[in-house]
Amino acid sequence: MKVRSIIAIAAAASVLAACGKQSVSFETLETNRSNAKANAEYNAQKFRAESPQFSNTALEVQGDSTQSPECPQGDGWASAKLVDKANPAAKVALKCSTVSGTVGCMTASDFQQKPYAADDGRCQDTTKVPFPIPKIAK
């Protein structure tokens, strides 16, 4: 009976230790930031290509501002803008997935109507946003 108790306590301690915040190195964080931004840019380019009304726009893509040493996967979302080349003041805001080519991008107003909006700005578990962030561009 004592052996079982000791094993149970050791297992619980191990699980609790694994729950503590882990930090990644700067290099690992930068690799994940780079992948996230490249994925968002890929998704934004795809969105623009599939939307003829945006054919005369330039892209401005930002990274996932939620990524940090304690959350290298971030929230899974990056902001982008489609900027009208003829009228640079005319911009369309986008939210783009940093991990899914299937989810891709959507206008910021459409994004606010989706369940995804609740994740924006909050570090997500790796069951939702994988770590390390895979490259989705083919």
pLDDT digit string, tens, across residues 62-81: 999 999 999 999 999 999 99
Q: Kind and range of the H or E element at 14?
A: helix 2-19
E strands, the chain, are: 57-61, 77-84, 91-97, 105-107
Q: Give a yes or no: residue 33 inside a domain.
A: yes
Q: Which amino acid is at 30?
A: E
**pTM, 2 dp:** 0.81
Q: Give a yes or no: residue 59 inside a domain.
A: yes
Q: Is the pLDDT assigned to residue 14 strictly greater than 80?
A: no
Joined tokens for residue 38: 């490249």
Arithmetic mean of pLDDT, 38-67? 95
Arithmetic mean of pLDDT, 10-23? 50
E strands, 41-122, are: 57-61, 77-84, 91-97, 105-107
Q: How many domains does the chain have?
A: 1
Residues facing 80 on adjacent strands: 61, 94
Determine the structural domain holding residue 47 and report its residue range: 23-118
Joined tokens for residue 14: 């191990």
